Structure 1
Amino acid sequence: MDDPVLLTGAAGRVGTAILGGIADKYEWRLLDREPPTGEVDHEYVVADITDEEAIREAVDGVGAIIHLAGDPRPEAPWDSVLQNNIDGTQTILEAAVDAGVEKFAFASSNHAVGAFETDERKPDIYRTHDEFRLDGTELPRPSNLYGVSKASGEVLGRYYHDHYDIDVVCVRIGNLTKDHPPIDYERGQAMWLSYRDCAHLFDRCVEADYDYEIVYGISDNDRKYYSIERAKEVLGYEPQDNSAHFDD
């Protein structure tokens, strides 16, 4: 990717993981609603994701967008996810197609499919002997209104790909933690995503060839109920970490 890459929500946890791994690989244009707290090595835009004029200026001249910005709270109320997550995603997709952006990577969430974790399936679904897998072909089953907003972002991506030919990949991010998975939390281990694998996965979202995809963003854990085969096949994802490495 020779053109700049726009990273929205750059100051958040996912943005920190991405920049921690591949900051030197691209010319970045970082966007966040809050100004940076220290020195930054890349162009930095302070703007709200729903500010149409500011977003159109931010996407001008970029080749790819990694869209993380939004209200990340699982308990976020409807008015917030509607404005920040759904309207914000539509605003930046509209600006992206008008600007001729080639690729759009959308940070979806495990909460878009959280209702698959029924009482009948738990806790076996989190254990190595269980063969149940979600692979991205299933319909969303959100566990909260935040999950509804992420499922809506996936559908918006589908619409803009089909009607405007922008390449879109939606990454249903699992449990991102920096140093290790939660040792005593089976669900967290099953959906763990390391910072290193997160950076690599979004790097592949920028570099790989695809049309429209939904993939799962977890490390190569022994415990898993998300399949990462599609991410490996289409994106060339090669995760290095496994939550089992931290077992006693």
Structure 2
Amino acid sequence: MVANVSDYEAIRPAFDEQEAIIHLAAYPYVDGTWMDVFEPNVIGMFNALEAAREAEVETFVFGSTNHVVGMYERENSPEIYRHDNDIVLDHTVPVRPDSFYGSTKSFGENLGRYYVENYEYPKRFYALRICSVRSEEYDHPFGDAENGVAEGKFERESSEYEEQVARMKAMWQSRRDFAHQVDCCLQDDDVEFDIFYGVSDNYRCWFDLEHARSRIGYRPQDDGEEWNAPPE
């Protein structure tokens, strides 16, 4: 089934007889205008939660974003990408979105909390503040840098290339770690509402992983620091 998430009647049948919903539909670009993000990210989020409520879906996994707290990175980059940065953000830090996109994802987290605390369904809401999950071709910490070269934005060994590598070594969430984290949410039955950072076990990461480990058993396998070069 393919439908526009901002069209409630079009998406509503897909929720029937489902035990869980993984909601990843969104306008995902940080430079998007308010008009770009409003229908897919605001109306679409309401539609997905309302459909889950009507269909009595128990579990709702929401693809949120690190851009909900993106101003911390913006204010501290590029130093925050180094091994010795002492910044750690957990799920309790004040929300500081860096864009209209991040603002709509913050709205989605809060709307999810409203639903689980005020309606019978959904019973559980998991907000995953996803960091950097990439396509299979670029599923490694050199992915953004290599993509930049492919698009002609800069050359290898340039300062721009090196900064992209440093950032991804902190922000990368491998596809298998992302799939594992979603599965942790689907297997859990204790959480009513909670927020978890979606990132691999990166040595230079500034996002807390202990909360996800203790609450839902997230055990990421990958670490961006283990990569010294892109794959051949």
Unaligned runs of 5+ in 1: 1-44
- Aligned-partner Cα distance in 1 for 2:83–2:113: 33
* SS of alignment partner, residue 65 of structure 1: strand
* SS of alignment partner, residue 117 of structure 1: helix
Q: Name 1:135's counterpart in structure 2.
A: 90
Q: Name 1:230's counterpart in structure 2.
A: 211
Equivalent in 18, 41, 45 of residue 89 of structure 1: 45
1:174 aligns with 2:155: no
- Aligned-partner Cα distance in 2 for 1:98–1:139: 32
Q: What is the number of residues matched between the two proteins? A: 203
1:205 aligns with 2:185: yes
Structure 1 segment 140-219 matched on structure 2, within 5 A? 140-165=95-120, 166-177=123-134, 178=136, 179-182=139-142, 184=162, 185=164, 186-209=166-189, 210-219=191-200
Identity of aligned residues (%): 42
Of 164-173 and 178-187, deviating more is: 178-187
1:65 aligns with 2:21: yes
Equivalent in 221, 224, 227 of residue 243 of structure 1: 224
Equivalent in 74, 80, 90 of residue 125 of structure 1: 80
Q: Name 2:31's counterpart in structure 1.
A: 75
Deviation at 1:153? 0.6
* SS of alignment partner, residue 66 of structure 1: strand
Cα deviation code 1:199-242 (max 9, x no counterpart):
11111111112110110000000011001111111111110000
CA contact (8 A) 1:127 1:224 kept: no
CA contact (8 A) 1:67 1:107 kept: yes
Q: Name 1:28's counterpart in structure 2.
A: none
- Aligned-partner Cα distance in 2 for 1:151–1:239: 25
1:46 to 1:188, Cα distance in 2 relative to 1, 3 A: same
Deviation at 1:123? 2.9
Deviation at 1:156? 0.7
CA contact (8 A) 2:16 2:55 kept: yes
Q: Name 2:154's counterpart in structure 1.
A: none
CA contact (8 A) 2:168 2:224 kept: no
- Aligned-partner Cα distance in 1 for 2:85–2:35: 38
Unaligned runs of 5+ in 2: 146-161
* SS of alignment partner, residue 125 of structure 2: strand
Letter in 2 for 1:189: K
- Aligned-partner Cα distance in 2 for 1:171–1:71: 16
Whichever structure has more strand as a proportion of its residues is: 1
Cα deviation code 1:166-209 (max 9, x no counterpart):
21000000111343112732222111100110111111111112
- Aligned-partner Cα distance in 2 for 1:145–1:97: 26
Deviation at 1:118? 4.4
Cα deviation code 1:88-137 (max 9, x no counterpart):
00111011011111100000011111101244x33332222222111111
CA RMSD of the aligned region, Å?
Answer: 1.4
TM-score, normalization: structure 2? Answer: 0.83
